Chains A and B, each alone.
Chain A
Amino acid sequence: MVDESRADSAQGATSTVIVGRPKGVLLHAWFADHARVAADTSLFVSQRLMSSFLVWLMVGVALTLPGLLWIAQSNAKAFGEQWPGSTALTVYMKVAAPAQSIIDLEGRLNREAEVERVVLTTPDQALQELLAQSDDSAFLRDALAAVGSNPLPASFAVVLTDNSSYLQLEALSRKLSAQTGVDNVVIEMTWLERLRDLSDLANRMGGALSVMLLIAAVLVAFASVRLAIESRLGELRVLALIGATPAQMRRPFLYFGSAYGIGGGVMAIVLTAVFLNQIETPLQSLLVSYRAGIEIAGFTPGFLLVILLAGWFLGVAGALLALLQRGVSDNPAK
């Protein structure tokens, strides 16, 4: 030991004690220290697998709801966009309404600001469609022959612009009902509009809840890292005395925060996958009843990455809070 030291010419009475950071030790040292701390963190976490699992679960649960809300929001949006018929009204004219009143109404509809498109179905077209859709058109023809005239009215399918609200739709419906020759106005897909309103409400409430849950995730990481700091105060004192830099002393705890956060992110992904798997079948069945065949989207690699990054960020934020609160780098050698 001492013989080896003898060979080290840098040591000795003539050399001066360096009181600043020597040059040329930065990048290599930085990588080496990260590798060492990563290995230490893996060991620390694997030695406390049960408690680490509980932390992951808590962070994961806190991350799952925001993730699910994000998926729900993106699917609701896609659902509205992909709906076979956009928000619309159907205006039924009285049977045998004069042709002029039909033309007048068409002109009026086309002048309405919230109307994007108007499609007129004449009584003859309606009859042809009915016959085409009927399983027993011969019977229907006989019945119509007995009536002697076409009993179907002319109708307008009125497609509204995307930014039309349900209130505007209702106002237009009332206005059209008062027009000459109009028998009935049916608002299509009002349930979709209501779904959108409910979705907006859910998004706002969910947003607030998500913020609270994300804060909870930070606090979970904070508490866990705080415990780790408390259990390693002796080690910190020794590290400070032997010359560990403040960054070296903080680093293990930032890695703990990262491990807890990323583990929580993985847990959130698993929980989200399980949840989506559970609701997929009943949701598809519900959508089929509305003649829509839209699949649940959003569980993409991008989503997984965002969840992992969010978990990592929250874990590191919790660790930083714990380090700040405990003042790890404030000369623990004292």
Chain B
Amino acid sequence: MARLQLQHVTRRFDNGQEGLSDVSLSIEPGSMVFLTGHSGAGKSTLLKMLIGAETPTTGRVLVDGSDVSQLGPKQMPWYRRQVGIVLQDHNLLEDRTVFDNVALPLRITHLPAKDIARRVRGALSTVDLSAKGHLLPRHLSTGEQQRVGIARAVVNRPRIILADEPTGNLDPYLSRQVMSLFHQFCDLGSTVLVASHDIDLIKDQGCRILHLSQGALVQDTASPEEARA
């Protein structure tokens, strides 16, 4: 069974514009897939649908066969706890330290404090921020804030990782490091979907690429003809 599946999904906004137009795709467990396209192509809308923050106007968004848009307010949190999301604008809590920001997904699951500390230290080490756990986000550079967001997304070992431009503010070395981290999670069975503009970085990864244009899926390298191209 596909882990993530979109079946003829269309998202029409109040102003009549279509964020997504009849998109169908399927992503297998343990795979890493890139989502590309210009600004406004529908990448963020697609990721929001997968996290349940947007609902399709028509079509279905399925995760392991369950329709995400049908999840009620009591079910949605339990689903989201298994999804790590990296947002373009970081969304860090300014009045909490880096450590506390990363610990947030673990605290809401009531993990014991010592386990939280161990996991947060591990996540910070992965993104090269071990020495900055005590700082507030405003004391970090944009790139460092981005890495905190990534650490927060992976700290609870999610089954699905959705990343919206995760390397947008990172230098090439750190970008490759983050991609390597995502690959490692893939090896463990997590499904990773990364929205990115960085074509060079994407090509280096050798992964399946979905290309969106004006809300429509115009290219999918998973299909044999696209893969050959």
Contact = CB atoms under 8 A, between A and B. Distances in A.
Given A239-B104, A331-B53, A14 B189 contact: yes
Given A2-B181, A2-B184, A235-B93, A20 B78 contact: yes
A167 interface: no
B137 to A, nearest CB: 11
B63 interface: yes
Interface residues of B, number: 54
Nearest to B189: A12
A33 B104 CA distance: 12
A113 to B, nearest CB: 66
Contact of A243 (B53, B105, B155): B105
Nearest to A6: B188
B215 to A, nearest CB: 18
B165 to A, nearest CB: 16
B185 A5 contact: yes
Interface bin, chain A? 35 or more
B120 to A, nearest CB: 9
Contacts, number: 131
A16 B189 CA distance: 11
Given A13-B189, A19-B66, A19-B75, A36 B81 contact: no
B122 interface: yes
B53 A333 contact: yes
Interface of B: 3, 29-30, 48, 51-54, 63-64, 66, 68, 71, 73-83, 85, 87, 91-94, 104-105, 107-110, 118-119, 122-123, 125-126, 152, 154-155, 157, 159-160, 181, 184-185, 188-190
A244 B92 CA distance: 15
Interface in A230-271: 234-235, 237-246, 248
Interface of A: 1-2, 4-6, 8, 11-22, 25, 28-29, 32-33, 36, 234-235, 237-246, 248, 329-331, 333-334
B93 A11 contact: no
B26 to A, nearest CB: 15
B157 A17 contact: no
A104 B181 CA distance: 111
Contact of A17 (B92, B118, B119, B159): B159
9 contacts: A1-B119, A1-B126, A4-B122, A6-B188, A17-B159, A29-B109, A237-B91, A242-B108, A334-B53
A243 B79 contact: yes
A15 B188 CA distance: 11
Contacts of A13: 29-30, 189
